[in-house]
Each structure stands twice: as C-alpha cells, then as structure tokens.
Homo-oligomer: A and B are copies of this chain.
Amino acid sequence: MRADAQRNRERLLAAARAAFARAGVETSLDDIARDANVGSGTLYRHFPTREALVAAVLDDRYEALAAEAARLQAEHSPGEALVAWLKLFVNHLMTYRGLAASVATVLHDETSPLYSACHAMRAAAYELVATAQRGGAVRDDIDASQVLYLAAGVAWAGEQSAADRAGVEHMLAVLVDGLLCNGRVPRPFG
C-alpha cells in the first residue's frame, strides 16, 4: 500500500472515530472526509459503505469479543460466562450512538462484507448460549440468535431512553433474569 494511501486511511479513521463519538454512527460521511482533509471520493474508495467504515473503526472489537467469550467459557460456569459476555456485548453496542442498529443489521445480512467479519464473535456467542442451555442454566426454548437480537434490543432501548451505562446494565439484568432458569421452569406464555 502506498504511503499516502496509508496516511489518508488513518486520517479518515481518526476523523471517523471523533465524529462517531460526537454524533453517532449516522453522521454525514462527507463531513468526516472534510474533517480528515480528504476528498469524499477518497473516503468511499477506502470504505465503500458506512458499515465498512464503522467496522474499520471498531476494528478488533469483534475478535476481542470472540476471544473474551472463549476465556469466560473456560473460567466460569456456563450461566455466568454467558451473562458476563452479554454485558460486554451490550457495553460494546453503547460505544457509539446508533451502533446497536448497525450491528443488528449486520448480524443477519449475509450480503454484508461485515457478516463474515463478526462471524467468529457470532459463533462464539452461539457456543456460549448452547453450552449454557445444555448445562440447564438457560431456558432452551430460545434460539441463540434471538438472544443476540434481544441483547441488541436492550442496548437500543437504552439508547432511546438516554439511559447511562448503569441503566442499560440494569435493563440487561431483567432480560438475563428471563433467560436464566435459576432452578425454576420458565413460565409458559399464553
């Protein structure tokens, strides 16, 4: 990669990081290009879609989440591991405003280039859920992907209600309480 291309890429990432932190992931991309002192064409060449830029900014977070899943699974009981990981996941979704929606889209859109980028994380999460279900810690009448969507929904709800980190974790606690069996049989719903 040519040196100027590398430099531009980094300036774009820095500008994007600042803009996302200030105004969420829906900020104007042209603004980001301007902030980076770069033409908008350059931005779109490096990052063809907004999703691609978001992914590049978050970069290693997805593998980190996958790694954390493995670590938690090794060091804790199935239930505790899942709960701890969901907390990490939801906190990640709170990094920037609008990120929950962004991630939720990517989770199922197989045509998205990010679909594979977060594949490892998704697989790790499914494994966490499956293990917890086999161990009887988590109700088994729910799909692993639904658990991820529900967690994203909690992050989204926190965003909408302008809740802080503690508020969102508290909402997550409610969801988690619905997921865990805790020695009771999940309440049927009619």
Q: What is the interface of chain A, defined by CB distance below 8 A to chain B?
A: 83, 101, 104-105, 107-108, 139, 141-142, 145-146, 149-150, 152-154, 156-158, 160-163, 167, 169-180, 182, 184, 186-189
Contact = CB atoms under 8 A, between A and B. Distances in A.
A174 B179 contact: yes
A149 B157 CA distance: 5
B150 A174 contact: yes
Nearest to A167: B146
Interface of A is mostly: helix
A141 B141 CA distance: 26
A167 B141 CA distance: 11
Contacts of A189: 83, 169-170, 172-173, 176
Top 8 nearest A-B pairs (CB, nearest first) are A178-B178, A153-B157, A173-B189, A153-B153, A177-B178, A104-B160, A149-B157, A174-B178
Contacts of A145: 161
Contacts of A141: 170
A84 to B, nearest CB: 10
A154 B160 CA distance: 13
Chain B CB count within 10 A is highest, among A83, A174, A182, for A174
